[in-house]
Amino acid sequence: MVSVWTLFICTSIALYYLLVLKALYTASHSPIRTHTHTDGKAAMQLANTHQEQLS
């Protein structure tokens, strides 16, 4: 039979790894998201100025 401590330690390790993975995931994705957002904004401004020049 598996002891309570073994179960507790395994659960703690699993939760720790999940937290680390979540932190890495958010750290690697947040700059990309803001970067694409600013790129999208710049593209919209460029399109707007281009349309104004055409009309």
Give the DSSP per-residue string, 1-55.
---HHHHHHHHHHHHHHHHHHHHHHHHHHHHHHHHHHHHHHHHHHHHHHHHHHH-
Q: What pLDDT tens digit does each residue of the chain (55 aa) get?
A: 779 999 999 999 999 999 999 988 887 776 655 555 556 676 677 667 766 666 5
Q: Where are the domains of the chain?
A: 4-53
Stated pTM of the model: 0.46
Q: What is the structure's pLDDT at 34?
A: 54
